[in-house]
Amino acid sequence: MKPEIQLNRTLSLAQVVFLGLAWMTPMIYFTTYGVAFETSRGMLTQAYALAFCAIFFTALSYGAMARRFPTSGSSYTYAGKAIHPKAGFLVGWSVLMDYLFSPLIAYLMFGIFMHAQFPSVPAAVWIVLINLVLTAVSALGIKFSAALSKTFVLLQIVFIGFFCAILAKRLIDGGIPGNPLEPFLQTEVPLSVLLAGASIICFSFLGFDSVTTMSEETVNAGKTVPKAILLIILIASVIYLTTSYITQLAFPGLQLPATDDAAFELMKLVGGAGLSALFITVLVFAIFTQGLASLTTVTRLLYVMGRDSELPKRTFGYLHPKFKTPLFNIAVVNGFALLALVIPLDMALTFINFGALTAFFFVNLSVIAQLYIRDRKRSAADTIRYLLFPLVGAFIVGWLLSLLDGHALMTGLAWIIAGAAYKIWRSKGFKRPFLAAKPAIAEELRSDKRL
């Protein structure tokens, strides 16, 4: 009998962090700048601080569940083991919508930006090109993907540091106008406006959860993945808060349009045409990296759902014997991503947030169900960590869900209904047992022995 092919466990803490940052994309600060600036009335520093506080509780929940179940599958695995396999499937199906459309959006944005730089080449050519390139890169293995992600994430961080350095020199030469703590302490803009801005900015932090889908490719995942989640959140927060703080100090009365062009206008204001050209170049690399990281995430989720027989196992649960990568899933996702040739960007974006927030909500509940109720971790400190904090996280995420527009909510609900119908059909009315993956069970038993 042939030994079962498994994912290669090669990723270090640094590699996991860079893959998470690649999915999150540090340059997203600029791509969402116009809308976030307008919604928060220019008070981006306070809005980012509130967004960090809002997402931090959910990040703690992901870390706790990654420590308890150091297997791939993310929210699908956590909800399935802590609440019920049926809940796990529906949560996994929900977040699958988010993960499926993430590569598509990255390819679409790549095509848009490259066409803007080279008008003679149609956007469709660039979309097909990045699709083929990332198919090849992903097929070679996650270690190569991690190395590439590290290089391009560092490029983004260097650019943001350069941008902040220009503003810092401006402040040193001209002096700080007004109170240096004003970006944090202003009270003219009401809290309701700041919260509205934070609700938009929260989506800049989406992606920290993606690293939990790589647990079975991570060395000592039970310790590495929780650390990576916190590091990703903290690094992103430092980048966002530092950039917004220095920008707000340098331009206290800045007025910009709430459009995609706001970031370009800011670049021209700070560094002229040279900085604007550099910004476009780095942004293209950032989109490429985000496409690679999101492709890695969704193919691993599909692999785990296939391995668990929630999806057809012989296809979605297949790994290439040499590269140890889910080649069929890579082909399926990139085939789906070719819809970028016909779907407009604003329509594709409506599919993203519902799935991510639904997953966040159920991961918070999973902490309570597994660690507080089932594992009976109920000391004073544990009650705070495994009951109070997840409740706060679930409340905040529920509030963010309520802020989604009606079209996004209806689309998300329709997707869940389709998933439930598929599961009922596949399991003949939920009569077949839910199969658990052997690698996941073995890893869980090893984890239990360490507890």
pLDDT for residue 176 is more than 90? no
Residue pointed to by tokens 């082909």: 331
**In this predicted structure, what is the pLDDT of residue 438?**
42
**In this predicted structure, what is the pLDDT of residue 209?**
84
pLDDT for residue 434 is more than 70? no
Extract the tokens encoding 214: 């790589």
**In this predicted structure, what is the pLDDT of residue 336?**
94
CB 91 within 8 A of CB 358: yes
Judge residue 42's burial from the number of C-beta atoms within 10 Å of its C-beta, 0-12 exposed, 13-18 middle, 19 or more buried.
buried
CB 323 within 8 A of CB 62: no
Least confident stretch, 104-118, 157-171, 238-252, 254-268: 254-268
pTM summary value: 0.81
**In this predicted structure, what is the pLDDT of residue 430?**
52
pLDDT for residue 442 is more than 50? no
Least confident stretch, 32-41, 45-54, 148-157, 274-283: 32-41
Residue pointed to by tokens 């509940």: 365
The pair phi, psi for residue 121, each rounded to 5°, is -105, 120
- The proportion of the chain whose per-residue pLDDT surpasses 70, expressed as a percent, equals 92
pLDDT for residue 338 is more than 90? yes
pLDDT for residue 447 is more than 50? no
Most confident of 70-74, 384-388, 405-409, 441-445: 384-388
Please compute the mean of the pLDDT values over residues 366-385 and round it to a whole number: 96
Task: Work out the pLDDT band at 198, boundaries 50, 70, 90.
Answer: confident
Q: Could you give the CA distance from residue 288 to residue 44 in angstroms, rounded to a whole number?
A: 26
Q: Could you give the CA distance from residue 334 to residue 320 in angstroms, rounded to a whole number?
A: 17
Task: Check residues 209 and 444 and name the one with the higher pLDDT.
Answer: 209
Amino acid (one-letter) located at 308? D
Three-class SS state of 381: helix
pLDDT for residue 258 is more than 70? no
Task: Check residues 245 and 355 and name the one with the higher pLDDT.
Answer: 245
Mean pLDDT taken over the chain: 85
- Secondary structure of the chain: what % helix, strand, coil (to 5)? 75, 0, 20
Please compute the mean of the pLDDT values over residues 54-80 and round it to a whole number: 90
pLDDT for residue 385 is more than 90? yes
Extract the tokens encoding 358: 């639904």
Task: Check residues 438 and 346 and name the one with the higher pLDDT.
Answer: 346
pLDDT for residue 236 is more than 50? yes
CB 202 within 8 A of CB 54: yes
**In this predicted structure, what is the pLDDT of residue 78?**
92
The architecture (CATH level 2) of 13-450 comes to: Up-down Bundle (1.20)
Q: Within 13 Å, how many C-alpha atoms sit on residue 107's CB side?
A: 32
Per-domain boundaries in the chain? 13-450
**In this predicted structure, what is the pLDDT of residue 252?**
82
- The proportion of the chain whose per-residue pLDDT surpasses 90, expressed as a percent, equals 37
pLDDT for residue 2 is more than 60? no
**In this predicted structure, what is the pLDDT of residue 356?**
83
Q: Could you give the CA distance from residue 51 to residue 280 in angstroms, rounded to a whole number?
A: 26
